[in-house]
Amino acid sequence: MTDRALVVVRAGALTTVQDRGRPGHAHLGVPRSGALDGPAAALVNRLVGNPPGAAVLETTLDGCALRPRAPVTIAVGGAPCPVRVDGRPVAWAAPVRVPADALLEVGAPTRGVRGYVAVSGGIAVEPVLGSRSTDLLSGLGPPALTNGTVLPLGRPGAPHARVDVAPQPAPPAELILRVTVGPRDDWFTPAALRVLTTRAYRVSPAANRIGLRTEGPVLERAVGGELPSEGMVLGAVQVPPDGRPVVFLADHPTTGGYPVIAVVHPSDLPAAAQAAPGTPIRFVRMSDRAGR
pLDDT tens digits for range 100-112 = 999 999 999 999 9
Distance CA 251, CA 81 (A): 25
DSSP-based helix, strand, coil % in the chain, nearest 5: 10, 30, 55
Distance CA 131, CA 25 (A): 11
| Whole-number pLDDT of residue 161 | 64
Average pLDDT of span 29-42: 94
Query: What is the residue-wise DSSP string for 214-233?
Result: EESPPPPBSS-S-PPPEE--
| Mean of the per-residue pLDDT values of the chain | 93
| Whole-number pLDDT of residue 28 | 84
- How many residues belong to the chain? 292
| Whole-number pLDDT of residue 160 | 67
Distance CA 87, CA 164 (A): 20
- Poorest-pLDDT segment among 164-168, 194-198, 209-213: 164-168
- The pLDDT tens digits for 71-84 are 999 999 999 999 99
pLDDT at 149 over 60: yes
- Extract the runs of DSSP E, i.e. beta strands, from the chain: 5-10, 14-18, 56-60, 64-68, 72-78, 83-85, 88-90, 96-98, 104-106, 114-119, 150-152, 175-181, 201-203, 211-215, 230-231, 236-238, 246-248, 255-256, 260-264, 280-287
Distance CA 241, CA 227 (A): 12
pLDDT at 49 over 50: yes
Distance CA 1, CA 40 (A): 31
Residue 168: which pLDDT band, with cuts at 50, 70 and 90?
A: confident
| Whole-number pLDDT of residue 287 | 64
pLDDT at 230 over 60: yes
pLDDT at 228 over 50: yes
| Whole-number pLDDT of residue 290 | 42
Average pLDDT of span 267-289: 90
Q: What are phi and psi of 269, to 5 degrees?
A: -75, -35
For the chain, the domains span: 5-152, 175-287
| More reliable by pLDDT, 226 or 160 | 226
- Poorest-pLDDT segment among 86-100, 207-221, 223-237: 223-237
Distance CA 209, CA 269 (A): 12
pLDDT at 291 over 80: no
Q: b vs e for 196-216, b when ≥16 Cβ sit within 10 Å of the residue's Cβ? A: beeeebbbbeebbbbbbbbbb
- Which of 222, 231, 228, 234 shows the shortest CA–CA distance to 264? 234
CATH architecture of 175-287: Beta Barrel (2.40)
Q: b vs e for 113-123, b when ≥16 Cβ sit within 10 Å of the residue's Cβ? A: bbbbbbbbbbb
Interstrand relation of 280-287 and 175-181 (parallel, antiparallel or unpaired): parallel
Average pLDDT of span 113-121: 97
Average pLDDT of span 28-35: 91
Count of other CB atoms within 10 angstroms of residue 126: 8
- The pLDDT tens digits for 127-148 are 999 999 999 998 999 999 999 9
| Whole-number pLDDT of residue 263 | 97
